Amino acid sequence: PYITARTNVLCVIGHPIEHSMSPIMHNAALKDLSLDYVYVAFNIPLNDLKKAVLGFKMFNIKGINVTIPYKENIIPYLDEIDPLAEKIGAVNTIKNEGKYLIGKNTDASGAKKALLDAGCELTGKKALILGAGGAAKAVSFAISEDLDALYIANRTEKRAIKLAKDLTNKTNIKAVGKKMSINTLKNLINDVDILINTTPLGMYPDI
């Protein structure tokens, strides 16, 4: 299929963005589905986020993925935030419905779907999440309501405790934050049913 005057545009924004695999991945999917869309990447300078959001409306960009460092600070510029993204405090996907921009968090819903699709039962289970960054936040909010117990273990202990507090305040779970150490892991690993690694460890060199 060729790009024509009618082709719809999707994009990812970030800073930097050159490393992103999203255009390759999404264009392959669009081609496979025979959809008249093209997916491109925009590197948005740090002080130009507001102008970029106006640009989405102006150029009728139908869908926007948001990556580092804009997942949190894009929120004030959007017209609506869905409840899960609001709880997490981060948006990674924006839907443009006739110049009305709706922020969502598919890091969260996607991670939960991947677990369910793999046959992982969540209801009544105990989970341990390694890491307390953006991905940990998204996954933990997505699955916390189904779980019986949730532990967050992080290299920087105070971030684990902060995320656990946030989860405890905003959801039905009483989450526990811990320092990630060999001893913590040894103690917890036999007690939990599900282990989720949200740190970049293990990704190198294919980050």
Active site residue 71: yes
All residues at 6 or more sequence positions from 164 whose CB lies less than 8 Å from its CB, including other chains: 150, 152, 175, 176, 177
Give the three-state DSSP class for 22.
helix
For the bound state, the minimum distance from the C-beta of residue 133 to ligand NAP, rounded and expressed in Å, comes to: 2
Q: Which amino acid is at 102?
A: I
Q: Does 198 bind ligand NAP (CB under 6 A)?
A: yes
All residues at 6 or more sequence positions from 199 whose CB lies less than 8 Å from its CB, including other chains: 130, 131, 133, 155
Q: Does 182 bind ligand NAP (CB under 6 A)?
A: no
- Stretch of residues binding ligand NAP (CB under 6 A), selected from 7-15, 37-45, 150-158, 182-190: 150-158
Whether residue 76 is preceded by a cis peptide bond, meaning omega within 30 degrees of 0, is: no
* CA 135 from centre of chain: 6
Q: Does 128 bind ligand NAP (CB under 6 A)?
A: no
For the bound state, the minimum distance from the C-beta of residue 127 to ligand NAP, rounded and expressed in Å, comes to: 16
- Torsions phi, psi of 65, nearest 5? -95, 145
Among 63, 103, 131, 177, binds ligand NAP (CB under 6 A): 131
CA distance linking residue 207 with residue 196, whole number of Å: 17
For the bound state, the minimum distance from the C-beta of residue 34 to ligand NAP, rounded and expressed in Å, comes to: 25
Size of the site for ligand NAP (CB under 6 A): 17
For residues 129 and 159, the answer to whether their CB atoms sit within 8 Å is no
List the catalytic residue out of 71, 104, 137, 178: 71
- Stretch of residues binding ligand NAP (CB under 6 A), selected from 7-15, 26-34, 74-82, 127-135: 127-135
Q: Give bridge partners of residue 100 from the DSSP assignment.
A: 97
Q: Does 16 bind ligand NAP (CB under 6 A)?
A: no
Among 156, 172, 181, 187, binds ligand NAP (CB under 6 A): 156
Annotated catalytic residues are 71
Residues that bind ligand NAP (CB under 6 A): 107, 110, 131-136, 154-156, 159, 198-201, 203
